[in-house]
């Protein structure tokens, strides 16, 4: 410790440090490079580095004419993380949208979806996710399942508890 202190008290070293400071700060371009990027980085990258899913585009391919698939579609459209819901008319269209990265996930409702729910069976919808974005895709599935659970709870209002869990973050 004493040694270290002596090293810094050393006039020669101090002079050299001062000189290096000057040589970096003397040039206006160097000055800019030392001070501007950290500020910009702080601003830009703080906003950019988010692992949340927002503004997601979802495709919906609905074979079902019943109430619950429309309910589900409407809730997905209203959800906070969704930017736009594209309605597609064929499997090829759906495939193309995922291939071209236009949507991160696609919901496909079979024709007996609402009928199954009305008959107290389980309505099964397929979610197709773009695995190139595996992380965002998994989060999207999580969000969609919450919506599905909500719609399911509406459908079975009297028989099921709406949400048996309280969450605090």
- Contacts with other proteins in 64-103 (CB under 8 A)? 68, 72, 83, 96, 98-101
Eight-state DSSP code of residue 55: S
How far, in Å, CA of 56 to CA of 81, rounded?
6
Candidates 17, 18, 33, 42: give the one binding other proteins (CB under 8 A): 33
**Token pair for 84:** 């736009």
Shortest Å, Cβ 8 to other proteins: 25
Binders of other proteins among residues 128 to 157 (CB under 8 A) are: 128-139, 141-142, 144-146, 148-149, 151-153, 155-156
Q: Which residues contact 150 (CB under 8 A, 6 or more apart)?
A: 75
Q: Is 26 in the site for other proteins (CB under 8 A)?
A: no
Is 4 near other proteins (CB under 8 A)? no
Residue 169 token pair:
């973050």
Nearest distance from residue 15's CB to other proteins, in Å?
21
Q: What's the gap between Cα 141 and its chain centre? A: 11
Which CB, 7 or 102, lies closer to other proteins?
102
Q: Answer for the pair 110, 125: CB distance below 8 angstroms, yes or no.
A: yes
């Amino acid at each position: 410790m004493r040694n270290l202190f002596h090293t810094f008290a050393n006039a020669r070293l101090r002079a050299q440090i001062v000189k290096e400071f000057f040589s970096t700060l003397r040039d206006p371009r160097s000055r800019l490079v030392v001070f501007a990027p950290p500020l910009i980085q702080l601003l830009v990258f703080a906003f950019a580095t988010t692992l949340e899913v927002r503004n997601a585009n979802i495709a919906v391919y609905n074979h079902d004419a019943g109430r619950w698939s429309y309910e589900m579609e409407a809730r997905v459209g209203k959800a906070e993380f969704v930017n736009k819901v594209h309605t597609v008319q064929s499997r090829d269209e759906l495939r193309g949208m995922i291939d071209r990265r236009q949507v991160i996930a696609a919901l496909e409702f079979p024709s007996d979806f609402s009928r199954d729910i009305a008959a107290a069976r389980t309505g099964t919808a397929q979610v197709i996710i773009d695995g190139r974005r595996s992380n965002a895709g998994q989060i999207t599935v999580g969000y969609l399942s919450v919506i599905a659970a909500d719609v399911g709870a509406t459908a079975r209002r009297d028989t099921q508890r709406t949400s048996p869990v309280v969450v605090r973050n």
